[in-house]
Amino acid sequence: MLKIKILVVEDDMEINRLVSEHLTREGYSVDRVFNGLDAFQKLSSESYQMVILDVMMPVVDGYEVLQKIRKMGSVPVLILSAKCEETDKIIGLGLGADDYMTKPFSMGELTARVKAQLRRYLKFSSETEACQKAAIIKYLDIEMDTESFEVKIGGKLIALTAKEFEILKLFLLNPKKVFTKTQLFKSVWGENYLNDENTVMVHIRRLREKIEPDPSNPGYIQTVWGIGYKLTEE
């Protein structure tokens, strides 16, 4: 069975110790670092199923670490921060964090949020493992390389943003499923409470503009009125 490894990146030594010891008692394998530079080294040499990340750290702050993590993959990131303003949360979530907790916090809530994010991440990883091993996903005349992050339509290379790539990948891995806007938001952004449907609509529109011959009459991503979106049938 997979031993879940969590990286705790927190410059406050006492908080770092408390969080790490608590998660260890919960059965997780935990590595501890106290600054962004050490986090970079760990992330480059080790594989983690989750990262718990402080934002305000010297030398390299949490936002830089978060951006590096997102370039490497989709491992869940839970931000711990003393910043409690809504704008701070929006920045963190917008950069790719999956959850955001403000200090002080209870260990009970931390555990619940860690388990929720891991459950979603591990379930998604399990469902897509076969396709990810193959690396190349093909559907109609769409070809996606999940290792090089390249997408070709009819042999032509299409430049997509990270979020556009993840949306298209989700559709390709689930070709018969209809996704609501909320499901897309939760799956791609990993967020459960902003319920930002407008963000999904904007990204779908931009994705269509890049992959559809006629974006106003889409042939790949269909709108299921009153529900959401799905891939067109082969």
Residue 193: the pLDDT is 44
CA dihedral 134, 39, 104, 122 (to 10 degrees): 10
pLDDT at 131 over 80: no
Q: Which residue bears the tokens 């997509």?
A: 160
Question: Do 169 and 74 contact (CB within 8 A), yes or no?
Answer: no
Per-domain residue ranges of the chain: 5-128, 135-231
Residue 70: the pLDDT is 85
Has domain 5-128 been given CATH number 3.40.50.2000?
no
Record: fold of 135-231? Arc Repressor Mutant, subunit A (1.10.10)
Residue 130: the pLDDT is 53
- What confidence tens digit (pLDDT) does each residue in 68-100 have? 888 887 889 999 988 877 777 888 888 888 899
- What confidence tens digit (pLDDT) does each residue in 20-45 have? 999 999 999 999 999 999 999 999 88
pLDDT at 51 over 90: yes
**Concatenated DSSP letters for 27-77?**
T-EEEEESSHHHHHHHHHH---SEEEEES--SSS-HHHHHHHHHHH----E
Percentage of the chain beyond pLDDT 90 is: 46
* Phi, psi for 215 (deg, rounded to 5): -55, -30
Burial class (CB in 10 A: 0-12, 13-18, 19+), 164: buried
Most confident of 12-16, 145-149, 222-226: 12-16
Q: Which is higher by pLDDT, 18 or 176? A: 18
pLDDT at 120 over 50: yes
Q: What is the DSSP letter of 154?
A: T
* Phi, psi for 204 (deg, rounded to 5): -65, -45
Give residue 192's pLDDT band: very low, low, confident or very high (50, 70, 90): low
The residue length of the chain stands at: 234
Please give the model's pTM, rounded to 2 decimal places: 0.55
Residue 133 CB coordination number (10 Å): 8
